[in-house]
Every structure is written in C-alpha cells, then in structure tokens.
Structure 1
Amino acid sequence: MSFFEELKRRNVFRVGIAYGVATWLLIQVTDTVFPRIGLPDSAVTLVIALLAIGFIPALIFAWAFEMTPEGIKRDADVNRAESITPKTAKKLDRVIIAGLVLVIAGMGVERLWFAGQQVTGPDLKGSGSITDTTTSAGGDESLIEPDPSHPAQQSVAVLPFTAMSSGEDDGYFSDGLTEEILNSLAALPELLVTARTSSFHFKGQNIPVPEIAKTLGVANVVEGSVRRSGENVRITAQLVRASDGFHLWSDTYDRTLEDVFAVQEEIAENIAQTLNVVLDEDKRNVMRMAGIRDVEAFIAYQKGLEGFREAHADVEGITGKLEAINPYFETALAAAPDLVAARILKADAAGHKVFELATNWRQEAWPGEGLEALEALRLEYELAWKSASPGNQRDILEVERSVFADNWIGLRSKIERALLPGDCPATNWTVEVANAFGMTEQVIEKTREELRCDPYNSVSNFFLVFTLNWAGKPDEALRVGKDALERGLGYSWIEDAMLYALLAKGELADPRVAHASGASGWMKFPREILILAKAGEITQATELAEKFWASDVADDWSSTHVAAVIGDRDKANEWASHIDSKPGGALVLSNLTHICACGAPFDLEATPNFKAKIEQAGLDWPPRTAINFPAKDW
C-alpha cells in the first residue's frame, strides 16, 4: 500500500479537514464574543496560536492511533481485519458536513445580525463628528437623503436654545442643555435625530423653521430659550411640525439649577412621546444615561468643543491648541466617564502628536515621546470602546483601537463588521484604513448613512467626495463637492478632494485646477506639483519637488507623496522607510496611501513593519489607483 493510500486509510486527511473546519468555527466565535465581554485582542491571538500549534499533533495522532470499540489503540496493535477505520471515516464525513453547515449558517447569521443591529445606548450620533467644523449657512440640499428605516414623522432636529441672559457662561450653559436634550433623544432608536454638528450649524441665524427642517431632512424641529439669574433658570421649549409650523408641544419651566436635569429629562420625554415613541422604564434609563448631568461639566464640554473647532481651523500649532483644551474634556469625563465623544476628542491631541513625530514634522522633545503619544492614543480609544454600548459605534471603535495596536490580526473582519449598516455612527480612522485597502463601496454607503443624521458635517462630506473618487466616480465626487460648497461648507479639504477628482479625469484646463494654489488643506507642498506630474511635465514637477524637499516645511509624509507622483521610487521608499521605523508608522502610512490615491506610493519591502501588519490583517496590496500619474510606473 502506498504512503498516500495509507494516509487515506488512517483518515489523516479527514482529521485534517475536520480540524480545519472546527478551528475556523472557534476563531469566528472568539473573534465575535471576546471583544464583547471585554477580553483583549491578545486573547483572540492566543486562541489562534494554540489552534495552529495543535494542527500537526492532531495529524500525528490520527496517523499513530485508531479509535476501536475497546477505546483508543496504537495503529500497530490493531488487526487489519478488525479495523473499523471505514466506519470512523463515515463518522468524520458527517462531522465535516455538519461543521460546514455551521460555517455557512454562522456566516449568514452574522451578516443578518450585524446588518440589523442598532445602537440602543448613548453613542456619538448626538454629539457630532470627532473632527467636525462649523461653517456658515447654505443652499442646495438635494443630496441629503432620507433614512428609510425611520418614519418621516419620527425625525427631529434640536436647534441650539437661545441664551436670553448675558452671563459669562450663559451661552455655554444653553448649548450644554441643548446637547443634553439632543443626546437623550438620540439614545432612542425609534427616532432619527440630526447630529449636533448640523443642528448647531444654524446657531444665531434667522432662518425659518421649515427651511431648516427641509435642509436637514427632518419633519420636526425643537427650539427654545434659556435665561439664568443666579441659581434660578427659566427654560422654554417647543416642538414644531415643520410642514405647517404647528406647535405639537410646548412648555415653560421656572426652576433652580439643581432641578435643571429633571427639566431636561421631562422635555426629552415629552418630545419623544409626542413623536409616538412608547417609553418604558428601560428607555427612560437609557435617556438619562445619555448625557453629562453636571452643570459645570457640560459647560466645560461646550468650551472644549468650541476650542476643538477653532484648533482645526488652522493646523499650524494644532497639537498645542488641543492640549490646551483637553482639561475641559477631562472635567466632562470626571462627571461622565462613559462620555465616548469627549474621550475621542481628548485623544485627538495624542493623534496629532503621533503624526508630527512619525512624519518628522518635528523631533521628539524627549526620548520616547512618540511611544508615549501612541500609548496615550491607544488608551483613550480603549476606554472609549469599553464605554460604548454594544452596536455599530462600538464596532467602529473596535477597528480604531485595533489600528493603534502592535498587531493587526483580525483587522479585516473587524473593518467589514464596522462598515455594516448601523444607526448613523461617527467614523474617523476607519474610513481611511478601509479606503486604502479596497473597501471603497462600503465606505461610500457608510458615509452616506452618517450624512443622513449629520448633513453639515464637513469631514464626512470630504470623506464622501474623496471616496467617490477612489471608487472611480470622479463626476459624482465633483457633484457632491459642489453641493457641499454651495451649502456653505467652506472646508478647504473638500476643495482639495475636488482637485483630485479633476486630476483623475485629466481635466487640467478646468478653472478650478488653475486656482488650486492655496496654502490651506492637507498639502504642505505646492499643488502645482500634482498638476504638472499629471500633465507629464516631469522636469518642471521635479524642480518644484526639489525646492520643496529643501524647504523647512518638508516632512517625510509630504516628501513621500511628492516623490511618488513624480515617479521617484527610490526617494519615496527612503522617506516611507523613515516613517515605518517610528511609533505609529503603520497608521501614518495607511493615511498616506489613502490620501495619495495613486496606488502604492512606496514598495512594501521598504516598510517591513507596515508589511507585517498588512499580512497579519489579510488586507489587499497594492491598493487601487484613482489617479494615474504618467511617471509613476509601479
């Protein structure tokens, strides 16, 4: 009997297949369950390692031993005439078939479960984007899509309550009370609630309620006013039906500051009930848990949000600005440790520091500063993930905390789960990583979902324009970008994303290309380099590139980008390798791949740390090419 036939007789092949099926099932269970019960990624990694180690012993056991009616015996001790290996083979066949059925069923259940899952507790949809930018009012609302999962009458925007008194913190108090009500309503899955960024977009503007409602795509609007006098406060609130201006509910409350949260709860509950939401005690508890419930803390949080927007208006010195406002978020978190939005906003300072150091924008102020910043970023996202309620927002945070980790095992499945339909959750790093590694269509749908709740979120509008171009849809990208600008979202990153769409189309004579020379946006290098490189004017593009590389503002991120588009492969690899050697280098290289949109900006062999993480995650490389630059031949 040949060796191959002996392997078959001893059921070694069947044992190997059965072991593989069982291993896949166990990995899927641990990958899904462990994060939800608070176990770290290392627990999943340990399970995978143990199962991999057990594969060879399982095959050796199948070769050396046989299952008999008297128990397990060495194969050499079993009389061939009495061997029951054919019966064992049939049992193994049934086990394999049953396992494969479970695999298929598990995949189907997972898809259905996560597709239908909604956030039922407090998350970020009421608090706005992680990196939102408030701008002036605008016009065309044609691209704001209704959410078919919510009846039209159960959609509402909570506009900023007007501060009727002029105390130093009265405006912040009024904004904080507004957001407490907004977050309470946003905690109810029955309601589609416009996010803070878009609701506050209309602050201080004398625009009729029907026009605001039409722009935001909602049927109802909450508005009100707040007047403080010492420890006393008067709050008025009304729920207005946008179609005819009819006041569905209104009330006035004269209370003390000690009673303000009881008033906030009563207002939110009355609005919910008026919109036909049936409230039981569990839903009331969810609404109560959604806010900060501390006057000083929510005033501090509003000051932090204001400082955050101002810091992002000009990235020069942004890390110092963000560190200066972090005490406001710490005050809010001291009163509400589970306030996920505050946790992520606080983390942004560490994120910018990681980028500054990994890109050689500046040198470390002390040895180990980069590692400390990366660890601070990882810790904040870990705490945010633990605080988030089970659901899609938590799945997104699971991706984002994993991106900062030392290994990326299981990252692809986490991204795929995070991009399933949810309940208007906020995204940030997830979009960049998913775009860079071939999941553009899912990102487009996810971004449109977020914009249904937050149509005036500038960063989400930018992501949509940029991702449409990534997906090979530059015409649609330009249309969406034009709509965003006409609605008043004067965000320079949107303009740069539109420039990329024009480059993808090769429309270099378009006036918008000729005027794309501003200093704002994400580019430190002259945009003319991109335009000349696309036009095939490589000599001129290289001259500008060399001037940029010799300047004080050149960093390794920008230098790699420039080298890639002009086709200088050696320089691109050199600077990419510098980034790869720094703490957080994989995060920065993912961002570079996302922004360049030029395929692989560098060779993976030049970035061994990044390469190892991509292989761990099973992510696609090289990425697709949205913009073909003639000199880039790799």
Structure 2
Amino acid sequence: MSLFSELRRRNVFRVALLYLVLSWMILQVADVGVSLLGLPGWTGRFAFLLLVIGFPLVVVFSWAYEITPEGIRREKDVAHDTSMTADTARKMNIAIVVLLLFALGGMVADRLIPEDTVSASSVAMEVPDPAGPSDQSIAVLPFVNMSADKDNEYFSDGLSEELLNLLARIPELQVAARTSTFSFKGSGASIPEIAGKLHVAHVLEGSVRKSGENIRITAQLIKASNGYHLWSKSWDRKLTDVFAIQDEIAAAVVGALKVTLLGEAPHARVTDAHAYELYLQSKALANLSTRDSFEEAALLLNDALAIDPDYAEAWNELGTVQVNQVGQGFVPRKIGFERARTSKERALLVEPNNVRALSGLGWIAMYAEWDFFTAAQLLRQARELEPGNTKVLNTAGALAGTFGQHHQKIPLYEAAIERDPFAMTVLSNLAIAYLNAGRLSDASERIDDMRAVEPNSFLVANAEAWLTWFSGDSEAALERFTDLGGSTGNWGRSFALHDLGRDDEIGEAIQLLRDAGGRPSQFAAVYAYIGDHDRAFAEFERAYQMRDDWLIEIRGFKFLESLYPDPRWEALLRKIGISDADAEQIGI
C-alpha cells in the first residue's frame, strides 16, 4: 500500500483538516475575548503559537494511534480486519462539515448584522457620508495612565497627542483631531460609538506605565466595525526609547491600514529625554489656561530649551502659550505677539516644514500684524504639507472670510469639522458663517452639535441668540441677548432694540457695551445698522488706530451691508488691505 493510501486509511488528512478548522474557530474566540475582556494583546499570539506547536503533534498522533471500542490503541496493535478507521472517517466527515457550516455562518453574520447602534444623541455629531468612513481613517484615544503615580498622567496624555500629531503628518491618512478624541477621555464610550461620532474606521488605544526612567507602553489598533484587533504590541524600554516606539507604532498603523505613502514616512522628533518630559508637563499646564499655569508652562519650556536649544516643538509650544497669554489679557498685545512670533520663527528655523509653526505664524501675521500676503503664503505652505490639519483649515477659513470669500470660507470650516467634530471654536465659526450667508437651517444644525458637546458654553448661548435674531424674532432675540450680558449681549441688544422701534433705549445699550469693554468695531456696527454712517466710519477709524482685530472680519457681517454703497467703505477695505483688489493680488 502506498504512503498516500495509508495516510488516507489512518485518517491523517481528516485529522489535519479538522484541527485547522478548530484552530481557526479558537483564534476567533480568542480575538473577541481580547476585545471584550480587556485581555493583554499577546493573548491571541500565544494561542496561535500553541496551536502551531500542536499541529505536528496531532498529525503524528493520528498516524500512530487509532480509536477503538476498547479505547485509544497503537495502530500496529490493531488488526486490519477489526480496524474502525472507516467508521471514524464518517464521523470526522460529519464533524468537519458541521464546523465549516458554523464558521461560514459566523462570517456571514459578521458582515450582515450591524455591530452597534448609534444613539440618537450622537447622530447630530456625525458628518453625513453615505459611503461611510474611509478605511484609511483613525482616531488616537488618550492612552490610559497605568503608573502608580497618578501625576504621571501628563506623560500618557502627552504621548497620545504626540502619536496623533505624528500620524497627522501622513497626508494619505485621515486622523481625527485632538479636541474631539480627548473629549472621550474617561467617558466609558464603546469603540463603535467613538468611531461613529468621529467618523473613522479604526481606533488606536493603549496604556502607559512610567516608573523613573523605565516605561511600559501597550498599543492596539482596533477595527471599529467588528472590534477586531488588527495589531497590538507592548514595549518595556527606557524613556530614551520613546521616540523609536512612536515611529514603530506609526509604521504599524500605516502597514495595517494598507496606506500607500507617496513620500517618506514621518518620524518622531528626537530630543533629550528630560527635555521631552518638561515639554509634556508644560502642555498639561497650558491646557489649564490660567495666568499661573501659562507662566509655569513657559518656565518649563524655557528649561527644556536650555537642555536642547534646537527642540522645535518646545519653541512651538512656547509661542502658542505666548499667543494665549495675549488672548486671555494676561500680557500686553504688542509684547506678547512679538514674543510669540520670535518663538515660532525659531521653531521654523530648526524645522522649515513644521506645520504648527507655519500655521501659528500665519495666524500672527493675519490677526496681529495685518500682513495678509505673508499669512496667505504661510497657510498655503502648511496646507500643502498637511491638507487635513484642522488648525490650518480653520485659520485658512478665517483668512478667506477676511476678504469676503465666503464660498471658500465655509468649505474650509466644514473640512475642519469633518476631522474635528467636537471643536467648539470651529463649530461656532461655521455656525456664524452660515447665519451671515442666510443658511439658517445649517446654522441651527451646527448649534445643535455645539450644544451636544458643551451645553452650557457661552459660544452656544451666543450662537443661539444670533440665530434667533437672524430668524426675525427680535423680541425673543432681545431676551436672549439680555441674558447673555457683557459686551456681546449688549451689542446684540442694540440691533434687536432698533428692530423693535425702541431707538430711545439704544443709547443705554451702547453705554453698557462701553462699560463692558466693547470694541470700536462693535460700536461701528451698531451705528451702521441704525443708519448713522458718519459715526460708524468714525468708530472704524478708531478701530484701525487701535488695531482692533475684529476690524479685519467686517466683510463677514451681513448687518454692515448698508455701508457698501458708501465710497468710504471701499476706501476702508483698501486701507486695511482686505479689498477685492488685495485678494486678487494675494491670490485668494
């Protein structure tokens, strides 16, 4: 008898096939167990290794032994006329068919049965796309701090953000922005729910344990539709290896998502390990947005730069802190912006293609210096490097609006929201842009999105008040503006009072606006709306002399349309540098 015939008679082929089918089913169960029970990422690999080792043992066993009514006996001890191999073969055939049917049924169910149902409250936050999210889209969730010292959370958060920024530098990859991904920190939301709200197909999550100079990092890439782990790995390294680990994670994501890179893959920016810790600590402090936290963050960044004077990201972060100090009124405008520009320029000197530096300098050129030509150049370069960077898109949208290019402004804001659906500032910008474009229904939807993110935010109350006014309900708008208070509330009250024919009360509203620190541009808008054009242009001149940054946004306000026929309007636009001729020269 030939070897092949003997292998068939002893059911070796059937045993091998049965083992392979069973192994596949075991691996599927192990994969689900890792997702549902939070088992370590190596659990699946360990099960696979055991099954591989077991395969030759099972094959050898099936050759050497036979199942008989008396139990398992060595094959050579069983007479051929009493052998049960034919009966065993029939039973194994049935078992194989049944298991294959189960496996096929599971595969069909996986494709036909939806994994999860998104709650009604989350529907408004999704960007409608009938085709669903791109397969090459991902959200990086905040890595969990597993350190004994809970104060090390700055490190796990910072590492997560650095990974996000590294992946965002890959143009072929769609990466959800930090504002939206970090909003899920500690929420307990499921992976499918998070992916649905962020409109991504994959989620990267993990944990960090730091003890002195030692770190343990675990990362896993999950396909949101079925919860399967596409890739996972753990590292036990020294702190100095953190940059190599970031590169390895990014490379694994690119490979798992089958991303075809058109250029060289980006790499984590390497610096001294202690300087890196100081940098991450400064970011955590800066996020508190208080006078003291900004000052402490700046001190830590200067310490990091003393260690590594060519640490571009530390220069970048220092410039951002200095801009925010001006924005919060903690530092005089001129001094703060000069410091910020110097810091951002130093970052760009170290890394000429640093998008954060390009975008930040573009913003400073536009709002602080009214150098719109430079702003356009910097933002154009930043968009070429990172087309999906939400901060770049938002600033580019604002620049387009400065020149009255609303057909460009709105799509740029919409593109930013697609990447960062929870970004309140961008949502507010888009809602106000819709209002001034007469798209009240779209504005209402964006305000609903804002309310879902931060229901008690001032930005929500402000947008709701203006939506009410643009809708023509001046009485209700007056109530909302009164409740809003402050400079914005009294500014809006002036418009509503005029609509209601209560011009005798506008003087009081203007005085309240003045007491609340109202800007010259706001006074100008009120005078323009009530028909006092001379006083309106006088206030615009005062705004120009004071460098009121609201002045560069006047082409976006619908309630200034009464000034358009006045020759002084075009002269004002030319004086600021935001006329149509300027836009054409700059290329906007």
Matching residue of 1:96: none
Counterpart selection for 1:338 from 295, 312, 316:
312
SS at match of 1:249: strand
Q: Specify the code of the residue in structure 2 equivalent to 1:497.
A: A
Check if 1:310 corresponds to 2:285: no
Is contact 1:221–1:239 with CA below 8 Å preserved after alignment? Answer: yes
Q: 1:390 to 1:348 in 2, by over 3 A?
A: same
**AA in 2 matched with 1:556:** P
Tell me which residue corresponds to 2:264.
Answer: 283
User: Could you tell me which residue of structure 2 aligns to residue 254 of structure 1?
Assistant: 236
One of 309, 328, 338 as aligned partner of 1:375 = 338
What secondary structure is seen at the aligned counterpart in 2 of 1:145? coil
User: Which residue is 1:461 aligned to?
Assistant: 427
Residue in 2 that maps onto 1:9: none
Q: Which has the higher helix share?
A: 2
* AA at the equivalent of 1:287: H
CA RMSD of aligned residues (A): 4.2
Q: Percent identity?
A: 27
- 1:500 equivalent to 2:469? Answer no
Deviation of residue 235 (structure 1)? 1.5
Aligned residue number for residue 191 of structure 2: 209
- C-alpha change, 1:520 and 1:383, in structure 2 (3 Å) is farther
Pair 1:544–1:407, CA change in 2 (3 A): closer
Matches of 1:328 and 1:518, distance apart in 2 = 41
Which one of the candidate residues 574, 577, 582 is aligned to 1:614? 577
Paired with 1:382 and 1:520, the residues of 2 have a C-alpha distance of 39
Contact 2:168–2:389 (Cα < 8 Å) also in 1:
no
The alpha-carbon deviation at position 213 of structure 1 amounts to 0.7
**3-state DSSP of counterpart to 1:245:** coil
- After superposition, residues 623-634 of structure 1 pair within 5 angstroms as none
Provide the C-alpha distance between the structure 2 equivalents of 1:147 and 1:386, rounded to a whole number of angstroms: 41
Kindly indicate whether the alpha-carbon contact (under 8 Å) linking 1:408 and 1:616 is maintained by their aligned counterparts in 2: no
> Counterparts in 2 of 1:69-88, with a 5 A limit?
none
Whichever residue aligns with residue 268 of structure 2, its letter is R
Q: Could you tell me how far apart the structure 1 residues matched to 2:179 and 2:230 are?
A: 25
| Residue 171 of structure 2 corresponds to residue 199 of structure 1 | no
Q: Which runs of 5+ in 1 are unaligned?
A: 1-136, 312-317, 357-361, 622-634
Relative to the length of structure 1, the TM-score reads 0.61
Residue number in structure 2 paired with 1:581: 545
Equivalent residue number for residue 539 of structure 1: 504
TM score, norm. by length of structure 2: 0.66
Check conservation: 1:158, 1:223, Cα contact below 8 A.
yes
Judged with a 3 Å threshold, the aligned counterparts in structure 2 of structure 1 residues 229 and 505 are, in CA distance, closer, same or farther, namely same
Q: Is residue 486–residue 516 contact of structure 2 (8 Å, CA) maintained in 1?
A: no
Mapping of residues 218-297 of structure 1, within 5 Å: 218-278=200-260, 283-284=264-265, 286-289=266-269, 293-297=271-275
In 2: Cα distance, 1:333 partner to 1:379 partner: 14
Alignment size in residue pairs: 459
Contact (CA 8 Å) 1:481, 1:498: kept in 2 or not? yes
- The answer to whether the Cα contact below 8 Å between 1:502 and 1:513 also exists between their aligned partners in 2 is no
Structure 1 residue 163 and structure 2 residue 145: aligned? Answer: yes
- Aligned partner of residue 144 in structure 1, secondary structure: coil
Q: Which residue of 1 aligns with 2:92?
A: none
Cα-to-partner distance string for 1:261-303 (whole Å, 9 max, x where unaligned): 22222222222211113579x634x2334xx655444444444
In structure 2, relative to structure 1, the CA distance for the partners of 1:426 and 1:384 (3 Å cut) is: farther
CA contact under 8 A between 2:172 and 2:259: conserved in structure 1?
yes
Q: Work out which of the residue numbers 491, 494, 502 in structure 2 matches 1:529.
A: 494
Cα distance in 2 between the residues matched to 1:218 and 1:309: 26
- Give yes or no for contact 1:410–1:617 (8 Å, CA) kept in 2: no
Deviation, structure 1 residue 212: 0.6
Q: Which amino acid aligns with 1:541?
A: I
Match of 2:63 in 1: none
* 1:556 alignment partner, one of 517, 520, 534: 520
Deviation of residue 347 (structure 1)?
4.2
**C-alpha spacing 1:570/1:327, structure 2 compared with 1 (3 Å):** farther
Secondary structure of the residue aligned to 1:581 is helix
Amino acid at match of 2:173: L
Q: Which has the higher contact order (CA 8 A, sep 6+)?
A: 1
Question: Is the contact made by 1:188 and 1:283 (CA closer than 8 Å) also made in structure 2?
Answer: no
Give the SS at the match of 2:288. Answer: helix
Give me the whole-angstrom Cα distance separating, in 2, the residues matched to 1:169 and 1:151. 36
Are 1:452 and 2:418 an aligned pair? yes
Partner Cα distance (2:204, 2:196) in 1:
14
Is the CA contact (8 Å cut-off) linking 2:134 and 2:200 kept in structure 1?
yes
How far apart in 1 are the matches of 2:422 and 2:137?
A: 16
Task: Give 1:151 shift.
Answer: 7.2
**Deviations 1:136-168, CA, capped at 9 Å, x for gaps:** x99324453378999722111110011012426
Q: Please state how far the C-alpha of 1:476 moved relative to its aligned partner.
A: 1.2
